[in-house]
Structure 1
Amino acid sequence: MKYAFVRDHAAQYPIRRLCRTVGASPSGYYAWLNRAESRRSKANRTLLAQIETVHFDSRQTYGPIRIHRELHSQGSTAGLNRIARLKREAGLRTRQALVWQQAGRGRTFEHIVEHRLLRRFYADRPNERWVADITFIPTAQGWLYLSVIMDLYSRLIVGWAMDKKPSQELATLALEMSLGRRAKPIGLLLHTDQGVQYRTARYQALLAQNNIQPSMSRKGNCHDNAAMESFFHTLKTEHVRHHKYRTFDEARQSLFDYIEVFYNRQRRHSYLAYMTPFEYERLHAVS
Structure 2
Amino acid sequence: MIYAFVHKYRFQFRVEKLCAVMGVSRSGYYKWKNHKPSKQEKRRKKLIQQIRYHFYAFKRRYGSNKIAAKLREDGWVVSTKTVARLMKAMGLRSCTVKKYKATTNSKHNMPVYKNILNRNFNVAAPNKVWVTDITYISTAQGWVYLASVMDLFSRKIVGWSLGERMTKELVLEAFDKACERQKPQPGLIHHSDRGSQYASEDYRERLVEHQMIGSMSRKGNCYDNACIEAFHSVIKKELVYQTKFKSRKQAYDAIYEYIEFDYNRIRIHSSIGYMTPHLCEKRYYEQHQVA
- TM-score (norm. length: structure 2): 0.62
Aligned to 1:213: 213
Aligned to 1:151: 151
Aligned residues: 190
Query: Match for 1:153: what amino acid?
Result: F
Question: What is the DSSP-based 3-state SS (H/G/I as helix, E as strand, rest coil) of the residue aligned with 1:265?
Answer: helix
Larger relative contact order, structure 1 or 2 (CA cutoff 8 Å, min sep 6): 2
Q: Which amino acid aligns with 1:175?
A: F
Unaligned 5+ segments in structure 2 are: 1-83, 85-98
Q: Is the 8 A contact 1:122 1:129 kept in 2?
A: no
The answer (yes or no) to whether the contact 1:217–1:225 under 8 Å persists in 2 is yes
- In 1, distance between residues paired with 2:256 and 2:217? 27
1:204 aligns with 2:198: no
State the Cα deviation string for residues 4-44 of structure 1 (Å, max 9, x = none).
Answer: xxxxxxxxxxxxxxxxxxxxxxxxxxxxxxxxxxxxxxxxx
Q: 1:149 to 1:162 in 2, by over 3 A?
A: same
Map 1:88-127 to 2 at 5 A: 103=105, 107-127=107-127
The yes-or-no answer on 1:166 pairing with 2:161 is no
Q: Name the amino acid aligned to 1:139.
A: T
How far is the alpha carbon of 1:229 from its aligned partner?
1.3
Specify the alignment match of 2:22 in structure 1.
none
Taking the aligned partners of 2:195 and 2:221, their CA distance within structure 1 comes to 13
* CA-to-aligned-CA distance 1:51-88 (integer Å, 9 cap, x gap): xxxxxxxxxxxxxxxxxxxxxxxx9xxxxxxxxxxxxx
In structure 1, the residue matched to 2:77 is none
Alignment match, 1:193: 193
Q: Which runs of 5+ in 1 are unaligned?
A: 1-74, 76-93
Displacement after TM superposition at 1:281 (Å): 1.1
Corresponding position of 1:227: 227
Structure 1 segments, 4+ long, off by >6 Å, are 94-97
- Whichever of the two has the greater Rg, that structure is 2
- Mapped partners of 1:271, 1:204: distance in 2: 30
Identity %: 39
Structure 1 residue aligned with 2:128? 128
RMSD: 2.0
Change (3 A) 1:185 1:281: same
CA deviations on 1:251-278 (whole Å, 9 max, x unpaired) are 0000000000110011011112111111
Q: Taking structure 1 as reference, are residues 145 and 281 closer, same or farther at Cα in structure 2, changes over 3 Å only? A: same
Q: Secondary structure at the match of 2:191?
A: strand
- Alpha-carbon distance in 2 for matches of 1:164, 1:212: 28
Aligned to 2:254: 254
Q: Report the AA paired with residue 283 of structure 1.
A: R
